[in-house]
């Protein structure tokens, strides 16, 4: 499984969004775009992950039991 948390969404002082449907929709579209960008990034990185398969991860853990985690890509 791959996880990536995007940048925080600042909503302080933006109470006007609650009353303006168009602004709320624009914020929704921005969030949706950010999430899709992060998903696309993770899918691309997953394709290049040398330890993607369970078998490869098990072999790595058998060879290097002192390491806590299997190596992964840099963000």
Determine the 3-state secondary structure of 33 from DSSP: helix
59: containing domain? 15-63
The answer to whether residue 75 sits within a structural domain is no
> Which residues are CB-neighbours of 45 under 8 A, at least 6 positions away?
2, 73
Q: Kindly state whether residue 37 falls inside one of the protein's structural domains.
A: yes
- What global pTM score does this model have? 0.72
Residue 42 included in any domain = yes
Tell me how many domains the chain contains: 1
Structure confidence by residue, pLDDT tens digits, 45-75: 999 988 888 898 889 889 888 887 888 877 6
70 domain-assigned: no
Residue 38 confidence (pLDDT): 96
Tokens of 63: 């060879």
Question: Has residue 9 been placed in a domain?
Answer: no
């Amino acid at each position: 499984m791959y996880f990536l948390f995007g940048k925080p969404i600042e909503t302080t002082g933006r109470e006007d969004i609650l009353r303006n449907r168009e602004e709320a929709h624009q914020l929704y579209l921005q969030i949706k775009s950010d999430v899709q960008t992060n998903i696309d990034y993770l899918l691309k990185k997953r394709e290049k992950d040398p330890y993607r398969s369970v078998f490869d991860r098990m072999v790595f853990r058998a060879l290097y039991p002192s390491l806590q985690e299997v190596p992964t890509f840099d963000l």
